[in-house]
Chains A and B, each alone.
Chain A
Amino acid sequence: MSILNPVLSAHWDEADSFTIAGYRRHDGYQALAKALQATPDEVIAQVKESGLRGRGGAGFPTGNKWSFIPQGDNKAHYLVVNADESEPGTCKDTPLLMANPHSLIEGIIIGSYAIRANHSFIYLRGEVVHVFRRVQKAIDDAYAAGFLGKNILGSGFDLELTLHAGAGAYICGEETALLDSLEGFRGQPRLRPPFPAIAGLYAMPTVVNNVESIASVPSIINHGVDWFQAMGTEKSKGYTLYSLSGHVTNPGQFEAPLGITLRQILQLAGGVRAGHELKFWTPGGSSTPMFTAEHLDVPLDYEGVAAAGSMLGTKALQIFDETTCVVRAVLRWVEFYKHESCGKCTPCREGTWWLVQIMKDLEAGKGGETDLEKLLDLCDNIAGRSFCALADGAVAPIISSLKYFRAEYLLHQTSGGCPFDPVASTLFETAGA
């Protein structure tokens, strides 16, 4: 018996897994038929009871989010799917949509029925054209089969679904920036409250959910709450996609019950690449504080990772071995956050700029103890002082790397520059880079 438990990925190895025929061969759209026989409130209750939590990073209970939508208010409601996957390290929604976009579409129809939305949107990042093709084709086929449009399966429920391409802005993965972007503005986060459940898209009650969260809904409707609850840990129910990347023998996607450890996943993946050892890793993307080898047995669920001082995030397990300079790695992440800061809030716009300046000096061997103190002081003044969490993400790798690798920062000064050979950390070091 394997510790893995493929559900969303169960049929991705079939060549036509992304087609409507391939999906229907494995009970595709059966959950929709079931859901439409229940009342919307019953569907919300079922998702709530399952314990499904958001798979996009924050881990907010999906059913609760749905239940916040006011009912009988005579307003348009919207379900908006956040498919703007772009947190460094995160690579789960993209392969999911490439291999089986219909699981998302079925989830959207069920979710829209539950929150009484008649028009829903998928906000897909723009830099993945083939994923756009796959999702658009899946939507077209779902219309043709009567799963979208007017009077779906004779239920009287109508739903329009629109696919919308972003255009290269990480900040649009933040739900209120995403809504501004979808409304046709620059994607900048909004002040909350009001939360999207009260005033979201076009100031109407709106649910914003991650791709994987919504794609998980049909399985819950099909197999039931007990089946879902039997997987995972006490407060982190169900299964999820873990994405392993970096200096490992075999990188890839692993679908498992919540609470699996990196040690277990690494064993399945053939370990860290041959002849090398684990130095540091992220549990859920670059904005989640980094871990080291001492965290190999941390249960990868919402509570376990938080108790160890980080966040489960997107379950993007990025592995770096001892050839990697942590200062170089962190500088590159901080440069990313500086580049992606939308400029709305001063602490983020100016602060990330200063972080990059100091990190660059440190990497070049031109910074010492006092610069480290200044860096931490800046981090302290940046975190938690903006409309959204982008700047919090920028300081997380700095603070966590200084916790574990302070001496390595200072070694740059005593070495007069970076003591690492960047060629050694590439995958083609012997190929003559």
Chain B
Amino acid sequence: MSFTAEELAVMDTIIARYPKSRSAIMPLLHYVQSIDGYVTPRGIETISTKLNLAAAEVTAVSTFYTQYKSEPVGEYHVGICINTLCAVMGGDAIYESVCDRLEIKKDQTTPDGKISLERIECNAACDYAPVVMVNWEFYDNQTPASVNELIDGVRAGNPPAPTRGPRALRTWKENSAVLAGLSDGLAEEGVQAGPATLLGLNIAKAQGSK
């Protein structure tokens, strides 16, 4: 089944952002994931046609990057940071605990298709370690207990809001559309900064900065 005329038109607007069409391959792959949930054969086929490339060239790109999935992931994709700093401060323990809770391991999805699990590398939030991401939204300063609550909330259909993100957690597909450059209008939701971000500024103000 092919994409709708409307979806194909969106692809054209994505291609039009770039001086050379091939540059659109990454946002187009994010866009395919926003519709199909992962990089499907029809997605590869359509992108290769649009960009006048061989399907193998598109596949070569999509398999290079870890955010592009060759199989369906959950509606909520949970990433536990297991790079050194987060791992040492609790990420390893959180990962073990989540595996037990979900009864799955890394790169697997729960049978109901709701939650998938990934061991992720450093996500640029080390001052909020241990960090967990869901659909690439920040959950800062996590513990095994707080992640259990997060998972239970996802299962019950009312996940807690990201620590620094929109007021309500969006799905994997919805956030993939944002990464393709399609606005969801939520940029102004959520805090401008967490406490660690403001630590130095607050100290400087208290001391009377230059």
A residues touching B (Cβ–Cβ < 8 Å)? 1-2, 4-6, 9-10, 12-19, 76, 85-91, 93-95, 98-99, 119, 125-130, 132-134, 136-137, 140, 162-170, 181-187, 202, 242-247, 250-256, 268-269, 286, 316, 318, 320, 324, 328-329, 332-333, 336, 339-340, 342, 422-423, 425-428, 431, 433
Q: Which of B121, B162, B199 contacts A252 (CB 8 A)?
A: B199
Q: How far is the CA of A95 from the CA of B123 in the complex (A)?
A: 12
CA separation between A16 and B191, bound complex, in Å? 9
User: Measured between alpha carbons, how far is A128 from B25 in the docked complex, in Å?
Assistant: 19
A93 to B79, CA, bound (A): 21
Closest residue of chain B to A244, judged by CB? B127
Counting contact residues on chain B (CB < 8 A from A), the size range is 35 or more
A-B contact pairs, 17 of them (CB 8 A): A1-B207, A2-B203, A2-B208, A4-B204, A13-B193, A94-B124, A95-B197, A128-B123, A169-B65, A184-B20, A184-B51, A202-B19, A251-B129, A252-B196, A253-B198, A318-B126, A332-B84
- A13, B202: Cβ atoms under 8 Å? yes
B91 → A minimal CB distance (Å)? 9
Chain A CB within 8 A of B13 CB: no
Q: How far is the CA of A247 from the CA of B87 in the complex (A)?
A: 12
Cβ contacts under 8 Å, A187 to chain B: 64-65
* Cα(A309)–Cα(B199), bound, Å: 29
Contact of A87 among B122, B188, B193 (CB under 8 A): B122
Judge whether B160 is part of the interface by a CB distance below 8 angstroms.
no
Q: Which residues of A contact B188 (CB under 8 A)?
A: 18-19, 137
Residues B122 and A90 in contact, CB atoms below 8 Å apart = yes
Q: Which chain B residues lie closer than 8 Å to A167 at the CB level?
A: 26, 29-30, 65-68, 179
B127 partner, pick from A87, A130, A251, A433, beta carbons under 8 A: A251
Contact A181 B26 (CB under 8 A): yes
A-contacting residues, B127-181, CB 8 Å: 127-130, 133, 135-138, 143-145, 162, 164-166, 170, 175, 178-181
CB-based nearest B residue for A88: B122
Chain B residues close to A by CB (< 8 Å): 17-20, 22-27, 29-30, 51, 60-61, 64-68, 79, 82-85, 87-90, 92-93, 97, 120-130, 133, 135-138, 143-145, 162, 164-166, 170, 175, 178-181, 183-184, 186-188, 190-205, 207-210
Interface centre among B61, B64, B145 (most CB of A within 10 A): B64
What 11 additional pairs, Cβ within 8 angstroms, besides A2-B208, A251-B129?
Answer: A86-B121, A88-B85, A95-B193, A129-B135, A164-B26, A167-B68, A184-B20, A202-B20, A252-B198, A329-B84, A433-B97
